[in-house]
Amino acid sequence: MKYLLPFFLTLISLSTSLQACSQEADKVEYIQPDAPLSLPLPRPPLTMKSPAERADFIAFHFWDALDFSDTERLTDDFLGTNMSEFLSLFDVCSERGAETAMSALLLKASLSPEALRRVVEVGESYAVRRESPVMTERTAALFLTLAPAFLPAGSAEAQRLDYLGKRFMMNTPGRVATDFPVKMRDGSLSSVMESGKGSKTRILLFYDEECDNCSRLIESMSADESLRNEISAGTTSVTAVNATASSESFAGSLKIPSAWQDCVPILGAGISIDDLYDLTVMPAVYILDENGVVVERTGRR
């Protein structure tokens, strides 16, 4: 998916929009919130009919009432409450509207170094981390692509977010999953894409022998009768990749069902599985279609 225009074009367009917003600020109506930590909610004009158009308007004006120079107000509770409400709008926003709204927030916060630091910190927690109830592929991609450009060039934080962004964009939904050679438990050689070939749904599971969450997930999937039936019928396949084992040894305590494809990666010198897939959090599960295109992924940070 094409999320962003070149950054300087985005800023030019955004600056123009913000100027217009400032000139017409008194024309925007706001709904006063019941919750004490919530910002006033912008009311879309009656001329806006489509849900996306209305959501774009609310998201763009969402932070208008906040004085970002008042850093004492930017507590975790305050920013967390409003960041959650702000990002929840992205489920309805247009692609361009979500991009512009995220850029507007970062641009406003950048007027104060401390405000930007706090917004980026809380923004990452809500937009990127998988435990966030409002984290989606869109929120994470937008935040990780835009935020580094608003931080001081070459700063450690900008470099860290840029690195996370590059990892996030590996094997995103809609792309063909990266193939790599593997060694099966029986010693035969294959590739991760070849192992699940022929199934309409292909589950690619990366696990770590020492990971308790991995063990629990494998046990849960093993006990799933519907999944077992789909595997027996040949409509679904599961390829379990032991991401931390060496190709010389398959030693480990985790019991992988015999109906699954169990393997370890075989990569060249200087290449690791982390260079191909984002395994920041394990287990990592990728759902592929019959052509190997990523449909959905979990295991986000």
Q: How much of the chain exceeds pLDDT 90, in percent? A: 66
pTM of the model: 0.75
Given pLDDT bands bounded at 50, 70 and 90, which one contains residue 141? very high
* Model confidence pLDDT, tens digit, residues 171-229: 999 999 999 999 998 889 999 999 988 999 999 999 998 889 999 999 999 999 999 99
| Per-residue pLDDT at 135 exceeds 90 | yes
What residues have CB less than 8 Å from 59, skipping those under 6 apart? Answer: 86, 89, 90, 93, 97, 98, 101
Specify the pLDDT at position 22: 47
Q: Are 286 and 171 in contact (CB under 8 A)?
A: yes
244 compared with 123, residue with greater pLDDT: 123
Report residue 50's pLDDT band, with 50, 70 and 90 as the boundaries. very high
The residues with which 279 forms a beta bridge, in sequence order, are none
pLDDT value at residue 31: 77
Three-state secondary structure call for residue 146:
helix
The 10 Å CB-count burial string (b at 16+, else e) for 272-291 is ebeebbbbebbbbbbbbeee
Let me know if 111 is exposed, middle or buried by CB neighbors in 10 A (0-12, 13-18, 19+): exposed
pLDDT in tens, 10-23: 444 454 555 544 44
* Residue 3 pLDDT: 38
Residue whose structure tokens are 């996370």 = 164
d(CA 225, CA 169): 33
What is the Cα Rg of the chain in Å? 23
Query: Residues 206, 212, 216, 219: is their CA dihedral positive or negative?
Result: positive
| Average pLDDT for 128-155 | 93
pLDDT higher than threshold 90 for residue 260: yes
CB 283 within 8 A of CB 157: no
pLDDT at position 29 is 79
Does 285 or 185 have the greater pLDDT score?
Answer: 285
Q: What is the pLDDT of residues 57-108, one digit of tens each?
A: 999 999 999 999 999 999 999 999 999 999 999 999 999 999 999 999 999 9
Alpha-carbon distance 43 to 32, whole Å?
10
Predicted confidence band of residue 157 (pLDDT cuts 50, 70, 90): very high
Q: 250: pLDDT confidence band, cut at 50, 70 and 90?
A: low
Tell me the torsion sign for CA atoms 170, 197, 207, 213: positive
